[in-house]
Structure 1
Amino acid sequence: MRIHLTSVFVDDQAKALHFYTDVLGFVKKHDVPVGEARWLTVVSPEDPGGTELLLEPSGHPAVRPYKDALVQDGIPATSFAVDDVRAEFDRLRALGVHFTQEPLEMGRITTAVFDDTCGNLIQIVHSA
């Protein structure tokens, strides 16, 4: 068994697609109209056949309180692995990404947390 798909709830799919592709560097995999929304997934360019991230609309009534509570408590919605947290922090910050946690070393783990502009906090992590 392996993870095929995971998702983040986004306030605006077009804005999310721009951020996740043009800023973070993911690649669009699927973009299928589904009523007023889209089945919109992105993947890592390093693993185009790997786990897909669904940019899922935040339309369900339970989503807003859930997302607000996570952000209020500083809890990331998901985590992405990177080779060098400091380098990725510098690259993203130069692109205007707002970080809520600068790189933090915790033993063999380094993390940083940023705002994805779509209502989520996202963690980047490297394990030495």
Structure 2
Amino acid sequence: MRIHLTSVFVDDQDQALRFYTEVLGFVRKHDVPLGEHRWLTVTSPEDPDGTELLLEPSGHPAVEPYRTALAQDGIPAASFAVDDVRAEFDRLRGLGVRFTQEPLEAGAVTTAVLDDTCGNLIQILHSKS
């Protein structure tokens, strides 16, 4: 068994697509119209047939309290692996990305947490193991 699809809730799918592709560097995989929204997924360019991230519309009434609670407690909605947290932090900050946690080493793991501009905190991490 392996993870095929996971999702983050977003307020605006177009804004999310721009952020996740133009800023974070993911590539669009599926973009299928479904009424007022779309089945919109992105993947890593390093693994285009790998796990997809669904940019899920946040219209369900349970989403806002859930996301607000996570953000208030500083809990990321998703975590993405990178080769070098400090380099990604510097690159993304140079593009205007706001971080809520600067790079932090905790044993064999280095993490940083960013605001995806779509209502979520996202963790980037590198594990030395």
Shorter-chain TM-score range = over 0.9
Residue 59 of structure 2 is matched in structure 1 by 59
Deviation at 1:127, TM superposition (A): 0.3
Q: Distance in 2 between matches of 1:115 and 1:19?
A: 10
Residue 98 of structure 1 is matched in structure 2 by 98
Alignment TM-score, normalising by the size of structure 2: 0.99
Deviation at 1:8, TM superposition (A): 0.2
Note if 1:84 corresponds to 2:84.
yes
SS in 1 for 2:117: coil
Deviation at 1:35, TM superposition (A): 1.0
Deviation at 1:10, TM superposition (A): 0.3
User: Mind listing any 5+ residue stretches in structure 2 that lack a counterpart?
Assistant: none
Number of aligned pairs?
128
Deviations 1:66-109 (A, max 9, x none): 00000011000010000000000000000000000000000100
Q: Distance in 1 between matches of 2:87 and 2:94?
A: 11
Give the aligned residue type for 2:35.
G
Residue 16 of structure 2 is matched in structure 1 by 16
Give the aligned residue type for 2:69.
A
How high is the sequence identity, in percent, across the aligned residues?
Answer: 83
Note if 1:71 corresponds to 2:71.
yes
Give the aligned residue type for 2:127.
S
Q: Distance in 2 between matches of 1:16 and 1:62?
A: 20
Residue 46 of structure 2 is matched in structure 1 by 46
Give the aligned residue type for 1:96.
G
Note if 1:2 corresponds to 2:2.
yes
User: Mind listing any 5+ residue stretches in structure 1 that lack a counterpart?
Assistant: none
Kindly report the root-mean-square deviation, in angstroms, between the aligned alpha carbons of the 2 structures.
0.3
The structure 1 segments of at least 4 consecutive aligned residues displaced by more than 2 Å after TM superposition are none
